[in-house]
Chain A
Amino acid sequence: AQKITQTQPGMFVQEKEAVTLDCTYDTSDPSYGLFWYKQPSSGEMIFLIYQGSYDQQNATEGRYSLNFQKARKSANLVISASQLGDSAMYFCAMREGQSTGKLIFGQGTTLQVKP
């Protein structure tokens, strides 16, 4: 069964507008972590934001925020004030439990920012 699901293969957003990238997850472990990474066309994987399963507040990092809805098992990434440099592939990932730091990744969403 897919543990991390990103249902939007591709998204477009106008420059300076906000965009939400969807991510749902599936786990029975009460302790888990959710991550978002950005992969520009150059190929590197860049960490954006982290949310722990016990965190009460939604995580924020600059223009990135994570809309964490635990009951719905969703961890959507919100990018505010989109910039042309935000055009990239975005991956949602999950770490289950506390015994290993390995991440399971979703299939990714390609975001294109239009000028």
Chain B
Amino acid sequence: DSGVTQTPKHLITATGQRVTLRCSPRSGDLSVYWYQQSLDQGLQFLIQYYNGEERAKGNILERFSAQQFPDLHSELNLSSLELGDSALYFCASSVEAGRISGANVLTFGAGSRLTVL
């Protein structure tokens, strides 16, 4: 157990629907990162939150949004789902406090596998 909890583990839904993926970071970690892993695109960085604020943005579609709550858990909302959104969605967390000088290793959750039919 990595300490990063993601729910649900599996999700099957239809095109056009909306889903919410949830992530609880490891105790003490302030940063949460979302990644999408698909066969054709590999591991793509979506977005990062640090202590409730957006810190970095990657290739996140406008149909997708995320937020980090005061208790530091994060949610990734995916709307108007398309077949191509089927993927494994990872959440990772790290300590990241200000200017990064060390490893700041990202610890990954087990992932949420989304299937859009």
Instruction: Select B106's contact among A52, A98, A101, A108, beta carbons within 8 Å.
Output: A101
Q: Give 14 new A-B contacts, CB below 8 A, not counting A103-B45, A105-B43.
A: A35-B103, A37-B108, A43-B88, A47-B105, A50-B103, A52-B102, A91-B43, A101-B33, A101-B94, A101-B96, A101-B104, A102-B58, A108-B42, A108-B43
Question: How long is the Cα–Cα vector from A91 to B37 in the complex, in angstroms?
Answer: 12
Q: In the complex, which residues 26-53 of chain A have their Cβ closer than 8 Å to any Cβ of chain B? A: 33, 35, 37, 43-47, 50, 52
Question: How long is the Cα–Cα vector from A99 to B31 in the complex, in angstroms?
Answer: 12
Interface size counted on chain A using CB atoms at 8 A: 23
Question: How long is the Cα–Cα vector from A98 to B55 in the complex, in angstroms?
Answer: 12
Min Cβ gap B60→A in Å is 12
Question: How long is the Cα–Cα vector from A43 to B103 in the complex, in angstroms?
Answer: 23
Instruction: Select B48's contact among A52, A101, A107, A108, beta carbons within 8 Å.
Output: A101
Question: How long is the Cα–Cα vector from A95 to B58 in the complex, in angstroms?
Answer: 13
Question: How long is the Cα–Cα vector from A91 to B92 in the complex, in angstroms?
Answer: 15
Question: How long is the Cα–Cα vector from A102 to B45 in the complex, in angstroms?
Answer: 8
Question: How long is the Cα–Cα vector from A2 to B31 in the complex, in angstroms?
Answer: 25
Q: Are A100 and B56 in contact (CB under 8 A)?
A: yes
Over the window 9-29 of chain A, the binary record of Cβ atoms lying under 8 Å from chain B Cβ atoms (1 yes, 0 no) is 000000000000000000000
Query: In the complex, what residues of B have CB within 8 A of residue A107's CB?
Result: 42
Q: Are B104 and A45 in contact (CB under 8 A)?
A: no
Q: Are A100 and B55 in contact (CB under 8 A)?
A: yes
Question: How long is the Cα–Cα vector from A40 to B28 in the complex, in angstroms?
Answer: 27
14 contacts between A and B (CB under 8 A): A35-B105, A44-B2, A47-B105, A50-B105, A52-B103, A98-B101, A101-B48, A101-B94, A102-B48, A102-B56, A103-B33, A103-B45, A103-B106, A105-B42
- Interface presence of B111 (CB below 8 A): yes
Min Cβ gap B102→A in Å is 8
Question: How long is the Cα–Cα vector from A43 to B43 in the complex, in angstroms?
Answer: 12
- Interface presence of B99 (CB below 8 A): yes
Query: In the complex, what residues of A have CB within 8 A of residue B58's CB?
Result: 102
